[in-house]
Amino acid sequence: MTESTDVKTTREVIEVTEAIAESAKLSLKEIVTSMDFLAEVNVAGFEKNTIYLTIEGDSDAGLLIGKAGGTMKALQQIMTSIMSKKHEGRIYVKVDVNGYWKKREDEIIASALDAAKVAGEEEISVMLEPMNAEERRIIHLSLEDQPNVFSYSEGVGAIKQVVVAHTKFQEERDDN
């Protein structure tokens, strides 16, 4: 009897170098160009096993962002797959088109701080819009040092809601 070769192996984490980041830039530029977009692709930075790429484009750049950043997220997934396979290890690629992700991050943080103010002053819980894991993480990190409030995710599946609550509810929450 032979062993199955279909078993998915865990990839080793790859430390990103300037050469790997430049390779990612060229791969993304090739994808963007093949989609007939006039855009500049740059390496915004890299750390550990993550590469940050930016796309700056003309008025059609909204199509690269997509509804709620969907196309941009798909580009990230494609680039992560390409780079991980190419370098036989785990490499993450984050893509930002015309500053969309930075603006979205700022909106998320502002929303979290507004909810924290209301929850803290009125001693209530505030439920935020449904978000993916990356967006929820931003909320939790932005509120970890806020007085009189805490946050937690609620729901099932990939898209959940964050609840920002007054600390008077924390013991009750911990008991559940």
Identify whether the C-beta of residue 55 lies closer than 8 Å to the C-beta of residue 97.
yes
User: Would you give the distance in Å from CA 15 to the centre of its chain?
Assistant: 20
Query: How confident is the model at residue 174, as a pLDDT?
Result: 64
Dist CA 113 CA 146 (whole Å): 8
Query: How confident is the model at residue 58, as a pLDDT?
Result: 78
Identify whether the C-beta of residue 104 lies closer than 8 Å to the C-beta of residue 73.
no
Query: How confident is the model at residue 60, as a pLDDT?
Result: 80
Dist CA 176 CA 174 (whole Å): 5
Query: How confident is the model at residue 10, as a pLDDT?
Result: 61
pLDDT per residue as tens, the chain (176 positions): 444 444 345 678 889 999 999 999 999 999 999 998 889 999 999 999 999 999 998 778 889 999 988 999 999 999 999 999 999 999 999 999 999 999 999 999 999 999 999 999 999 999 999 998 889 999 999 999 999 999 999 999 888 999 999 998 877 666 65
Query: How confident is the model at residue 12, as a pLDDT?
Result: 85
User: Would you give the distance in Å from CA 41 to the centre of its chain?
Assistant: 19
> Which domains, ranges and CATH numbers included, belong to the chain?
18-98 (3.30.300.20), 103-175 (3.30.1370.50)
Question: In degrees to the nearest 10, what's the CA dihedral of 110, 59, 63, 68?
Answer: 10
